[in-house]
């Protein structure tokens, strides 16, 4: 089955990381990028992620992505989706970055998120279960900001309000501001915090059965369940409310209650910046009890669910970017994952060795050799290699 799916058709890099110049066309649905350590595999996916989301998944500062010694970097990508055909471009300079869609400057970088939707799976994601709640919030937010423009706006607004509210609390703590001025921010805080929590609650409600099903397919035995735990949920409560009105009341009440302590500490102590996503296997916390292999399966199921949820929100499958993760999975998990992705999405896979990838993948995909910032189709690379001795 090849339903609706976003497809990258071509990619051009200029002075991006270790690529001086790269022009790559990507016909077809499966592409395997093979190469040793430090050759440019992750950099390639980072470039795609950059035009998809407006930011890198790993660079602390955008400037780091400019090739050392070069004045600026550029990533240009052509894709086709339900929106039609479009060209995305990001230019990085030491003074900042600019994005263009079809040659037109995009005023707000966040708008880029409305074009190329992508699901990225990197080895770091394997900490999703064991890591802190921040990783799980990032998991939720990452898919929601791409799939729901309204969520993106609410989250951006909330973060702005949170920063301003924190600044004010800090000033009050130093005896500079008045507690009365806090009220203006509180109203806005309640509104945007509630919207964020509401969207997250609905998303997890949809994600949980998708993850459970994927988990069933990959692992068989135990039942995976995802539960959203907004910060205000009591220990004894099982389910997060999904009604916006109820959420608003809870946020308001928590804010009232926290106020004396917030004033003393000089910072916000409540809000969706403290939410978590609980994962259980047969009703027991995966974070506390799952074995290593079980954790991997849970993460895998979460990633498949992400792909499916985004497809249901968007009406088409996002591009799937797998950075060196398949080789970390055993053959059973590899096969299950590949089965889900194949035929539905355009998938770009990187790996250090072809032999660690499932044979079916190698046969059906196009393989490329990545070497020192250059990419060649595998056949050519082999030919050149043998000529060169
Ligand atoms: N701004 C930059 N300019 C030039 N080279 C850079 C820049 N940033 C990173 N590099 C280099 O790019 C190289 C390739 O990095 P990349 O992360 O893509 O490797 P990789 O192929 O994914 O390797 P691994 O298999 O170890 O993950 C690294 O050796 C790094 O030093
Ligand atoms: Mg890498």
CATH number, domain containing residue 52: 3.40.50.300
The per-residue pLDDT for 3 is 65
* DSSP H/E element including 49: helix 41-53
Residue to substitute in 18, 20, 49, 326 for testing ligand 1 pocket (most ligand atoms within 8 angstroms of CB): 18
- Ligand 1 centre and the CA of 121: distance in Å? 18
pLDDT by 10-residue block (mean), the chain, 389 residues: 82 98 95 96 98 93 97 98 95 97 95 95 91 96 94 96 94 84 91 98 96 89 95 95 97 95 93 97 95 90 95 95 88 82 89 85 91 94 67
Residue to substitute in 19, 34, 42, 368 for testing ligand 1 pocket (most ligand atoms within 8 angstroms of CB): 42
Same domain, 385 and 306: no
Same domain, 263 and 361: no
The per-residue pLDDT for 387 is 55
Same domain, 337 and 250: no
Domain holding 350, by residue range, is 1-117+320-389
Question: What residues does 101 pair with on adjacent strands?
Answer: 88, 104
Looking from the CA of residue 39, the nearest atom of ligand 1 is 21
- Ligand 2 centre and the CA of 362: distance in Å? 19
Q: Are 13 and 374 in contact (CB under 8 A)?
A: no
- Ligand 1 centre and the CA of 40: distance in Å? 5
- d(C-alpha 32, C-alpha 368), whole Å: 6
- d(C-alpha 321, C-alpha 318), whole Å: 9
Same domain, 141 and 284: yes
* Torsion of the alpha carbons at 203, 204, 208 and 210, rounded to the nearest 10: 20
Same domain, 70 and 162: no
Same domain, 252 and 158: yes
Extract the tokens encoding 13: 């890099």
Which of 315, 350, 374 finishes a domain? 315
With CA atoms as reference, report the closest residue to 300 among 323, 265, 325, 264: 325
Residue to substitute in 41, 120, 354 for testing ligand 1 pocket (most ligand atoms within 8 angstroms of CB): 41
Same domain, 226 and 311: yes
- Ligand 2 centre and the CA of 384: distance in Å? 24
The per-residue pLDDT for 170 is 92
Q: pTM here? A: 0.93
- Ligand 1 centre and the CA of 358: distance in Å? 25
The per-residue pLDDT for 33 is 97
Which of 300, 315, 330 finishes a domain? 315
Q: Whose CA is nearest to atom 12 of ligand 1?
A: 18
With CA atoms as reference, report the closest residue to 123 among 227, 205, 42: 42
- d(C-alpha 24, C-alpha 26), whole Å: 6
Which of 289, 315, 341 finishes a domain? 315
- Determine the distance from the C-alpha atom of residue 202 to the mean position of all C-alpha atoms in its chain, rounded to a whole number: 18
Same domain, 298 and 325: no
- Ligand 2 centre and the CA of 333: distance in Å? 21
Extract the tokens encoding 389: 């001795």
Residue to substitute in 20, 38, 42, 369 for testing ligand 1 pocket (most ligand atoms within 8 angstroms of CB): 38
CATH of the domain at 286: 1.20.1050.90
Looking from the CA of residue 40, the nearest atom of ligand 1 is 18
DSSP string for 317-378 = BPEEEEES-GGGS-HHHHHHHHHHHTTTS-EEEEES-GGGS-HHHHHHSEEEEEETTEEEEH
Domain count, the chain: 2
Same domain, 208 and 239: yes
Please report, for residues 28, 40, 251, 328, the alpha-carbon distance to residue 366 in angstroms, rounded to integers and kept in the order given: 8, 18, 51, 21
Looking from the CA of residue 70, the nearest atom of ligand 1 is 3
* DSSP H/E element including 143: helix 133-147
Could you tell me which residues come within 8 angstroms of residue 263 by beta carbon, excluding any fewer than 6 positions away?
169, 172, 173, 179
Same domain, 267 and 369: no
With CA atoms as reference, report the closest residue to 360 among 334, 378, 382, 322: 334
Residues with CB under 6 A from ligand 1: 17-18, 35, 37-43, 64, 66-68, 324, 352
Packing angle, helices 292-314 and 133-147, rounded to 10: 20
Same domain, 281 and 234: yes
Ligand whose nearest atom lies closest to the CA of 67: 1
Same domain, 8 and 48: yes
Ligand whose nearest atom lies closest to the CA of 41: 1
Tokens 């086709």 belong to residue: 80
Q: Whose CA is nearest to atom 31 of ligand 1?
A: 38
- d(C-alpha 367, C-alpha 26), whole Å: 11
Q: How many CB atoms lie within 10 A of CB 58?
A: 14
- Ligand 2 centre and the CA of 328: distance in Å? 13
């Amino acid at each position: 089955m090849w339903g609706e799916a976003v497809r990258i058709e071509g990619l051009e890099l200029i002075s991006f990381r270790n690529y001086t110049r790269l022009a790559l066309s990507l016909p077809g649905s499966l592409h395997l990028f093979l190469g040793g350590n430090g050759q440019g595999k992750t950099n390639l996916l980072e470039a795609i992620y950059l035009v998809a989301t407006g930011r890198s998944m790993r660079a602390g500062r955008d400037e780091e992505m400019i090739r050392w010694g070069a004045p600026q970097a550029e990533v240009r990508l052509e894709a086709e989706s339900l929106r039609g055909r479009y060209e995305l471009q990001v230019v990085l300079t030491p003074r900042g970055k600019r994005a263009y869609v079809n040659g037109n400057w995009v005023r707000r970088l966040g708008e880029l998120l409305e074009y190329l939707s992508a699901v990225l799976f990197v080895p770091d994601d394997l900490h999703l279960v064991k890591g802190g709640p921040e990783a799980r919030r990032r998991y939720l937010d990452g898919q929601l900001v791409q799939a729901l423009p309204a969520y993106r706006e609410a989250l951006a607004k909330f973060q702005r309000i949170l920063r301003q509210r924190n600044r004010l609390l800090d000033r009050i703590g130093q005896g500079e501001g008045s507690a009365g001025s806090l009220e203006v921010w509180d109203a806005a805080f309640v509104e945007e915090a509630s919207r964020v929590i509401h969207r997250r609650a609905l998303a997890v409600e949809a994600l949980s059965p998708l993850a459970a099903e994927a988990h069933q397919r990959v692992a068989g035995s135990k039942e995976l369940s995802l539960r959203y735990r907004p910060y205000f949920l009591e220990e004894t409560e099982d389910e997060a409310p999904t009604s916006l009105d109820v959420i608003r009341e809870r946020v308001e009440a928590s804010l009232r209650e926290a106020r004396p302590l917030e004033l003393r500490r000089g910072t916000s102590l409540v809000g969706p910046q403290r939410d978590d996503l609980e994962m259980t296997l047969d009703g027991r916390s995966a974070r506390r009890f799952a074995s290593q292999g079980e954790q991997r399966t849970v993460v895998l199921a979460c990633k498949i669910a992400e792909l499916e949820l985004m497809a249901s929100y968007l009406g088409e499958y996002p591009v799937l970017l797998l950075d060196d993760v398949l080789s970390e999975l055993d053959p059973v998990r590899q096969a299950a994952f590949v089965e889900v992705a194949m035929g539905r999405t355009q998938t770009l896979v990187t790996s250090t060795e072809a032999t660690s990838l499932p044979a079916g993948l190698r046969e059906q995909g196009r393989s490329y050799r990545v070497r020192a910032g250059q990419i060649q189709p595998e056949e050519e690379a082999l030919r050149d290699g043998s000529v060169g001795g």
